Amino acid sequence: MTSFKKTRPHTIVFDLDGTLVDTAPDLITALNYVLDREGLPPVPMASARNMIGAGARKLIERGLEAEGRTVTPADMDRMTADFIAYYADHIAVESRPFDGLEAALDHFAAQGHRLAVCTNKLEWLSKRLLDQLDLSRRFAAICGADTFGVQKPDPTIFRETVARAGGDVKASIMVGDAGTDVGVARRAGVPVIGVSFGYTDVPIAELKPDRLIHHMRDLPAAAIDLMATSYN
């Protein structure tokens, strides 16, 4: 892995699902649990991966759309509650950090950079997942869709996450896998590194992140490059 050059300390802000952790197996299992309770067939894992990323309610909506179904708002509330309850109890059965993640985090920490999580997952679910994977201790802030009352791509969630981590937005970088991550970075006026191994219905390369990586081993070098340019 590329060695760091000394740079101004930055806050590296990560999306969670599809960026830090491969959560698809447990999320889709929870989705299929809810669909089965409604008498609907399961959604195949391969096609369902790209439904992830906008929160539990949206995941269920997309699962229903795949079967040509719509439900009332009250039914959606019930299904979302069922999903969250099941998922919370099965949150890290198969979910695992992406290969190379912990080494990349070690490199950032060794150079004094702050690490934070900014996700459209609920905060308490995010913390539960990261706790079970022994990752929570690595982050100065873990913020979700309910933390500040807004979701990505609203830039408020990014700015407040950086502030909670004790960082400066002017010295921060977003790392994510989907349009909401690129969108929040653009609206907050910060650079963004896209990962190609996550969950998105639009290929991340088409969203033109400032840097694109295909493995976590490449993240430190991409971040160094950005820190050494006009964002430093």
Instruction: Confirm or deny that 26 is annotated as ligand binding.
Output: no
Instruction: Tell me if residue 46 falls in helix, strand or coil.
Output: helix
Structure tokens at 11: 């806050």
CB 175 within 8 A of CB 196: no
Instruction: Confirm or deny that 17 is annotated as ligand binding.
Output: yes
Is 15 a known active-site residue?
Answer: yes
Give the active site residue among 15, 22, 26, 210: 15
CB 199 within 8 A of CB 178: yes
Structure tokens at 123: 């905060």
List % helix, strand, coil for the chain (3-state, nearest 5).
50, 10, 40
Rounded Cα–Cα distance for residues 29 and 124 (Å): 19
Neighbours of 116 (CB within 10 A): 24
Structure tokens at 157: 């969630």
Instruction: Confirm or deny that 177 is annotated as ligand binding.
Output: yes
Active-site residue set: 15
As annotated, the binding site includes: 15, 17, 177
As annotated, the binding site for Mg(2+) includes: 15, 17, 177
